Amino acid sequence: MNKFVVDTDNETKYVTLGEYFITDSAIFLFIMRSDFEEPQVEVINLSADRLLEYIGAYFNDFGEDGWQDELAPLVTPLLSYTKEHDIIWITALSPLPRA
């Protein structure tokens, strides 16, 4: 069995890696899984500056749940490549990890 596939209760669960590459004008999400021949790429139309504004607002203005609405576009693309109980590893390259 592939070490990136978990088989429990006769149900296959995948380990999915989502890696964010942040540029000045957009965020590229590379999605990798053992059954993919190559990474899948999703483009998120969110600039690095706007992302930093969202992160700053999280600590000031959004309130308890507002940040989820603003940052949902970062996570939503992963949903079409995963199912309930899959394991998702998320990594990011600048500036997201510093938040």
Sorted by where each starts, the structural domains of the chain and their CATH numbers stand as: 5-94 (3.30.420)
DSSP 19-84: EEEE-SS-EEEEEEETT-SS-EEEEE---HHHHHHHHHHHTTTSTTTHHHHHHHHHHHHHHTT--T
Whether residue 19 is predicted with pLDDT greater than 90 in this model: the reply is yes
pTM recorded for the entire structure: 0.74
**14 or 69: whose pLDDT is higher?**
14
Give the pLDDT band of residue 23 (cuts 50, 70, 90). Answer: confident
What percentage of the chain reaches a pLDDT higher than 90?
28
Give the pLDDT band of residue 84 (cuts 50, 70, 90). Answer: confident
Per-residue pLDDT, averaged over 46-69, amounts to: 72
